[in-house]
Amino acid sequence: MRMPLPVRRADAEPLLDCRYFAAGQCRSCTLLDVPQDVQLATKQARAEELLAPFVHDAVAWRSPWAATREGFRNKVKLVVTGSAAHPRLGITGPRGRGQDLRDCPLPTLGIQMATPALARFVAECGFQPYDPSADRGVLKFVIVTESPSGELMVRFVARRRGVQGMLFKKLERLRELVPAARVVSLNVQPERKAVLEGDEEILISDAATLPMTLRVAGCDLTLNLRPQSFFQTNTDAAEVLYSRAVDWVSGAVGQDLGSLNAWDLYCGVGGFALALASAGMRVVGVEAQPQAIDAARESVEAMRRRGADVDATFVAADATVWAREQSGSGGAGASEATGEGAGAGEVPDVVVVNPPRRGIGPELAGWIAESGVETVLYSSCNAHTLAADLAAMEVFDVVKAQVVDMFPHTAHFETVVLLRRR
């Protein structure tokens, strides 16, 4: 049964006391004046509408998961504007003017506390903010991530490598101002275009990874995050998604997970893969980003040193190409990439996909549909592309689904679905 679309209240009060929203200086939270239950009901209705052709049983839908109203973002990407003496860390606001957001209520507490200190550090270093209209200046962004333990990863994005000298020289000063800073790096992005970061990452600190310890299906799971690797921006939501993977897959197969294997395509730093491996499955994770694969492998080794018996292999490759190689004739490249957990001609019991907004696309969706795989867990940040991919996998039914409100106060949300072959 489809939920009725709620009506937006014209007299609704903002959910948060945000001075930037009240003054019209930042409208990133487009739904900040919509009650949270109305936001959630609207997202649920939208997901049900898009996925209606593939959900044949209303009980497949679980109640939507609601995030906290504030302090939920574990990562911020702060545009550097202003001047070298008085930098602003925030966004490019109306009319292209920089808007400082050091009092934004959305980031985690550690990020909120660190942002003013980071602005002071930028000023002490004398870094000139980059002006894209004039193509002048050097410092473009400061990207900050907080782990559940309160440690921080701080990344400076600049247009040239020369910034590294000042960062090395001032590293101890940065730690005085931001004691929680564990990982510090410089990303070099020299191009004059709307690209957040470049390929080159220079590590400034001795530590290269930020441990993210989550509570997944009743157990602790520690993932290692490197500067250029992806992690969900809402830690609580990540715990929900990984827990759903363990619980739903276990319920779907109806047998001991230790006798089954899974492929986690688009595995990132290994969240879904390691959650399933911790539950006993043999898992191969595939991800195109080499830093993410390095981080996932480091997590596996750390788990084994602590005595955990986990069978997980990680491969740096394009997910679609790799999957087709494993089910085909293999070849030198395929056999080298396969690793311990798969072999040419093998079909896994479970496939997990957590792609970017563009979805998995018709080629991978077609392979999954034709492969004989019985169970698929699909986590999507774009319900439109999820629906398109499900249309290309019509041999599956959605047997469980849930909206996970990872991005409160916006129209965006995560949808996780469990698919079973008819």
CATH number at residue 156: 2.40.50.1070
Which residues are catalytic, by number? Answer: 381
Same domain, 278 and 383: yes
Same domain (yes/no): 57, 86: no
Please report whether residue 334 resides in a domain.
no
Q: Tell whether 249 is covered by a domain.
A: yes
Give bridge partners of residue 380 from the DSSP assignment: 415
Dump pLDDT digits (tens) for 118-129.
999 999 999 999
pLDDT score, position 252: 86
DSSP 229: S
Q: Show Cβ contacts of residue 219 under 8 Å, excluding neighbours closer than 6 positions.
A: 278
Is 20 inside any structural domain?
no
Please give the residue that has the higher pLDDT: either 216 or 95.
216
Q: Return the CATH number at 254.
A: 3.40.50.150
Residues 56 and 103 in one domain: no
Do 140 and 60 share a structural domain?
no
Task: Give the closest residue to 148 by CA, choosing from 116, 177, 182.
Answer: 182
User: What are the tens digits of pLDDT across the range 154-169?
Assistant: 999 999 999 999 999 9
Check whether residue 160 and residue 98 sit in a common domain: yes
Domain presence at residue 82? yes
- pLDDT tens digits along 236-291: 999 999 999 999 999 888 777 878 999 999 999 999 999 999 999 999 999 999 99
Judge if 44 and 182 occupy the same domain: no
Task: Kindly state whether residues 385 and 270 are assigned to the same domain.
Answer: yes
pLDDT at 342: 54
In this structure, the answer to whether residues 276 and 314 fall within a common structural domain is: yes
Please identify, among 207, 223, 246, the residue that sits at the C-terminal boundary of a domain. Answer: 207
- 232 appears as a binding residue in the annotation: yes
pLDDT at 418 over 80: yes
Q: How far is CA 416 from the centre of its chain?
A: 14
Do 46 and 142 reside in the same domain of the chain?
no
Number of domains in the chain: 2
CB of 54 closer than 8 Å to CB of 77: no
Quick check: is 22 in a domain? no
Q: Which residue has the tokens 């006391």?
A: 17
32 located within any domain: no
The CA-based dihedral angle spanning residues 110, 171, 230, 281, taken in that order and rounded to the nearest 10 degrees = -90
Summarize pLDDT for 31-69 with one digit per residue, the tens: 998 988 999 999 999 999 999 999 988 789 999 999 999
* Per-residue pLDDT, 148: 97
CA-based nearest residue to 253, from 243, 240, 262, 265? 262
Tens of pLDDT, residue by residue over 350-359, are 999 999 999 9
Q: Is there a binding annotation on residue 354?
A: yes
Q: Are residues 187 and 267 in the same domain?
A: no
- Whether 405 and 65 have beta carbons less than 8 Å apart is answered as yes
Average pLDDT over residues 304-321: 95
Is the confidence at residue 2, as pLDDT, over 70?
no
Structural domain of residue 239, as residue ranges? 40-67+234-328+344-421
Shared domain for 63 and 92, answered yes or no, is: no
Tokens linked to 27: 């409208």
Asked whether residue 242 is marked as a ligand-binding residue, the answer is: no
Q: Which residues are paired to 75 by β-bridges?
A: 145
Buried-state track 47-79, b at ≥16 Cβ within 10 A, e below 16: bbebbeebbeeeebbeebbbbeebebbbbbebb
Q: Do 45 and 89 belong to one domain?
A: no
Question: How far is residue 235's CA from residue 174's CA, in Å, rounded to a whole number?
Answer: 25
Q: pLDDT: is 416 or 10 the higher one? A: 416
CB neighbour list of residue 16: distance below 8 Å, 6 or more residues apart:
29, 32, 69, 70, 105, 409
Residue 381's pLDDT band, with cuts at 50, 70 and 90, is: very high
4 in a domain, yes or no? no
Does any domain span residue 24?
Answer: no
Residue 3 has pLDDT above 50, yes or no: no
